[in-house]
Amino acid sequence: MSSVDLQGITKDFPGLRALDDVTFTIKDGEFFVLLGPTGAGKTTTLRIIAGLTKQDAGALLFDGVSMEHTTPADRDVAFVFQQYSLYPTMTVYDNLAFPLRSPLRKVPEADIRKKVDETAQKLRITHLLDRKTAKLSGGEMQRVSIGRAIVREPRVFLMDEPLSNLDAKLRESLRVELQHLQKTQGNTTLFVTHDQIEALTLADRIAVVNEGRVIQIGTPIDIYDRPATTFVATLVGTPRINLFNAARDNGTIVIGNSGLHIPSLSATPAELLLGIRPEDVRPTPDGQFTGRVGLTEPLGVETILHIQSGGQTLLSLVPGMAQFKLNDTIRFNLAEDRLHYFDMEGKRL
């Protein structure tokens, strides 16, 4: 495995700056996730690391060695795409064996058999080895696609939204398998996604990207508990964070058009944006604040409450099947030590 270091990577396409001074390091053996919306520059970053696209400025290093004049083949990276990219007329076995049968590798057939069998066992596809890939389900095809990447033990794994074409249950199942596989194998992995659940559950560290720029890098806890901007705060978390225009007045922070007054931090400016995670809006019979239930969303293990306070609506996430009804009066507290303060440009205070 290898470390990967991007230093000031910039890439322009006609009329578009796809990457703007992108800098981060993926540690040897780390599961690193690029999280951002469509068009953020995630796939372009992968292609530059793989050598399929050339950056206009900046440096790319593997283990401290520049990749400037290194071909894609010599970089020894494995790319897993959103589309499965398998050979439909071949069996699963031959798809897995294909990278090892390259004339450059000269791997004996007995060793190929051993590696394919080991990989198939890890991904639970041994029973599929003799089947043509055209006859597989989507989840089975993606397992084979991942297997074809790991069978040759590359320096770096690059995964471009590999779970996005699967249904919810398959995504969850394969997400668990990917995490287990990476932790047990210690593979250096760069995983691209727009799905914040995938990012939070898989990553050792996350880089949040938008419009070609890196907004924040940190562990999942860092990204969730201390978002650097309102963009990060709204991108991560389900249900979405409550975000309000607020003002400091006589020692309190007042949320506009509501009955909410919160003790003020002395360092807060006169005007700010206040973020409150839904799990930090906590219904309790003796709560400090009062509101009205505008909507309930029962999800089984938890319930999302829409609480009306004046002209504002707060989302509250509570355990189990909450027994509130429409228009019920509800008392609640806010976890004041977990509030998020941003300036009016959206930067964390």
Any idea of the CA torsion for 30, 31, 34, 35, to the nearest 10 degrees?
-140
Tell me, what's the pLDDT at 309? 95
Give 6's contacts (C-beta < 8 A, 6+ positions apart): 22, 23, 24, 25, 45, 48, 49, 58, 59, 60
Tell me, what's the pLDDT at 36? 97
Tell me, what's the pLDDT at 220? 97
Round to whole Å and give the CA distance between 275 and 287.
19
The pLDDT of residue 83 is above 90: no
Tens digit of each residue's pLDDT (9 = 90 or more) over 92-132 = 999 999 988 887 778 899 999 999 999 998 888 999 999 99
Report the percent of the chain where pLDDT is more than 70.
Answer: 100
Residue type for position 3: S
DSSP H helical ranges for 59-125:
72-75, 92-97, 109-123
Q: What is the rounded average pLDDT for all residues in the chain? A: 92
pLDDT band for position 139 (cuts 50, 70, 90): confident
Mean pLDDT is lowest, of 84-93, 276-285, 339-348, for: 84-93
Q: Is the dihedral of CA 259, 264, 270, 272 positive or negative?
A: negative
pLDDT band for position 285 (cuts 50, 70, 90): very high
Tens digit of each residue's pLDDT (9 = 90 or more) over 21-46 = 999 999 999 999 999 999 999 999 99
The pLDDT of residue 88 is above 80: yes
Tell me, what's the pLDDT at 84? 73
Q: Which residues pair with residue 249 across a beta bridge?
A: 252
Tell me, what's the pLDDT at 165? 77
Helices then strands (H, E): number in the chain? 9, 20
Tell me, what's the pLDDT at 166? 79
The pLDDT of residue 180 is above 90: no
Round to whole Å and give the CA distance between 142 and 89.
16
Residues in the chain: 349
Residue type for position 126: T
Tell me, what's the pLDDT at 56? 97
Higher pLDDT, 79 or 215: 215
For the segment 66-87, the average pLDDT, to the nearest whole number, is 88
Tell me, what's the pLDDT at 174? 83
For the segment 129-148, the average pLDDT, to the nearest whole number, is 89
Burial bucket for residue 164 (CB in 10 Å: 0-12, 13-18, 19+): middle
For the segment 48-62, the average pLDDT, to the nearest whole number, is 97
CB atoms within 10 A of CB 228: 18
Tell me, what's the pLDDT at 9? 98
The pLDDT of residue 307 is above 80: yes
Q: Are 12 and 121 in contact (CB under 8 A)?
A: no
Tell me, what's the pLDDT at 128? 94
Higher pLDDT, 170 or 327: 327
338: tokens are 């977990």
Closest CA to 315 of 331, 297, 329, 338: 297
Mean pLDDT is lowest, of 165-169, 179-183, 204-208, for: 165-169
pLDDT band for position 279 (cuts 50, 70, 90): very high
Tell me, what's the pLDDT at 55? 97
Tell me, what's the pLDDT at 16? 94
Tell me, what's the pLDDT at 31? 96
Give 293's contacts (C-beta < 8 A, 6+ positions apart): 305, 306, 307, 308, 324, 325, 326, 327, 328, 329, 330
Strands in 340-342's sheet, in edge-to-edge order, are: 261-263, 252-255, 242-249, 271-276, 340-342
Select the highest-mean-pLDDT range: 58-67, 105-114, 171-180.
58-67
